[in-house]
Amino acid sequence: MQVRLDIKDLARYPFLKESQQYVGTQSESLDQFLAGSQGGLALGKAADRVNLAITFRRSKDEGEKRPEVPADDIHVKLEIFSYGLARVLVSCMKDRTLIDRLARYEARRAAQFLADEDPDKKAYVAESLGMDLNEARMPLVAYVDLVAPLRDERWRLVNRSVHSGSVLLRGDDEQREIDELLAERIRVVLLRQLPLQVPPSVCEQVRPITEHLNATYQQQMLRDLGPIDEGRYPPCISALITAVTEGKNLTHPGRFAMTAFLHTIGMSSTQIVELYCRAPDFDLQTTMYQVGHITGGGGTEYSPPSCATMQTNGICIGKNALCSRVSSPLGYYRRKKE
C-alpha cells in the first residue's frame, strides 16, 4: 500500500521508516547534531518526552490531554528529532522499566493520533507494523504472541472464537479491538528496538540530562508506590525475607529478586544490607558491593524480575489469587495499593 505522508505525519508516527529516513537526510553525525543549536533544542524536547513517559499512566484518565503536532515546520522537525533522542536518553540510562514506560507512552500517543486518522493512512501504519486492518481475524500464533502481556480476561484464548487457525475479532467490538491490538503492536515493536547501542561519548554528552531524568524517575516511582508497606509484599518476596531473617542462605536469583524489589519500592541500600546480616555466609563488604551493584552503583540500575523469571528460578513461592492477575512482584505490590 502506498500513501502520501507529509512532515506532520512523520511527527505523529516517528517510528515509521519514512520518519527515520527523513532524520537521516536532515542531520549529520549524532555528536555534531547535539553540539549544534538545533540539537540542543531537540534534546530539550526529548527530555520533555521522557518526562511525559515517566508520569505516564497505563489507565486512561478522562482529563488526559490529547497529543498535538506543532503548526510550523521548524517545531515539527524538532518533534521528529525528539523521538529518536528520547530513545537515546533512556538507552543511556539503562533502566528497563523506564524503557518500558517510554514504549507505552509512545504507543498511547500514536494510538490517539490513529483514532482520528484517515483510513488509508491508518491501514498503512498498521501494515508497516505487520498488521492487516482489512481482516477481522488474526493468525493464532500472532494473536497469542501479541496479547500475552494483556491482562483483560477477554483476550484469553478460551474466551475467543478460533476458526481455521485464526482468532476472530468480536463483531460488536471489532473496531475497538483492532485499535487496542494495534496500540499493543506499536508498543511491542518499539520495545524490541530498545535499548539502542549508543556510543559512550554521546551518553557522556547527555549525562547532565539523564542524571536529572533519573532523579525525577526515582521520585515518581516512590510517589506511585507510596510509603513502604510490608502488608503489600507479594508472597514470593515475603518468603525470601523470612528465609534470610531466619538465618538461611538465599540463592543468587533470590538475592537479586529481593534486593531489586526492595530498592525499587524505596528501601535504602543500608536497610537492605541489614536484612542479610543473619545469613550464614554474611560478609559486610561483599554484601554492600552486591547490593550496590544491583541498585545502580555500577552504572546500571536493575529492575525486579518478572513472575515468569521467578518461576524459572524456582522462587515463585506461595502463589495466591492475586498472583494470577499480575506479571511481576512489583505489579502485585502496586495492585495491593489500589
Locate 105 and state its grid cell.
507512552
Cell numbers linked to 250: 538465599
160, 167 Cβ separation under 8 angstroms: yes
- Give the H/E segment covering residue 167: strand 166-168
Rounded to whole angstroms, what are the CA distances from 238 to 23, 261, 288, 322? 49, 11, 21, 15
Which residue(s) pair with 162 in the sheet? 167
Helix (H, G, I), strand (E, B) or coil at 53: helix
Please give the Cα distance from 190 to 89 (Å, whole number). 15
Residue 153 burial class via C-beta count within 10 angstroms: exposed 0-12, middle 13-18, buried 19 and up = exposed
> 127: which residues sit within 8 A by CB, 6+ positions away?
1, 133
* 316 assigned binding-site residue: yes
Q: How far apart are alpha carbons 68 and 229 in whole angstroms?
A: 39
Show Cβ contacts of residue 244 under 8 Å, excluding neighbours closer than 6 positions: 250, 258, 275, 276, 278, 279
92 is in an annotated binding site: no
d(CA 1, CA 244) in angstroms, rounded, equals 60
Indicate if the alpha-carbon torsion angle 265, 270, 271, 273 is positive or negative.
Answer: positive
Q: Which residue has the cell 507510596?
A: 226
Is 277 labeled as ligand-binding?
Answer: no
Q: Which residues are annotated as a binding site?
A: 236, 307, 316, 323
Q: Which residues are annotated as a binding site for [4Fe-4S] cluster?
A: 236, 307, 316, 323
